[in-house]
Structure 1
């Protein structure tokens, strides 16, 4: 599964600082298999931050 698919399905999101947030539905044992690192981070613009807030509130599966 790619990052975009994990994101679209609500299994990952990114905080306002760009750091990855991983749903508790994904066990830490699976991070390597899914190529997820708790240190993953993306660069964000103010425009991205607004969308990501919406995604965290509506889509992300905490």
Structure 2
């Protein structure tokens, strides 16, 4: 989950890339996201599972 801005999910469907701020990612799955970092500030980027957040799946994205 990315706070403060949306990203586009590159899903292989050409020009159709849905705008999201949350996606579900399965174990060992890889996704490609396109982010336009146009909202200045410090934003949380994290997993919604509290155990995962505690184990390091929480980061701060800083946009200057």
Determine if the TM-score, normalized by the shorter chain, exceeds 0.5: no
Structure whose CA Rg is larger? 2
Higher normalized strand content (fraction of residues) = 2
Higher normalized helix content (fraction of residues) = 1
TM-score by length of 1: 0.22
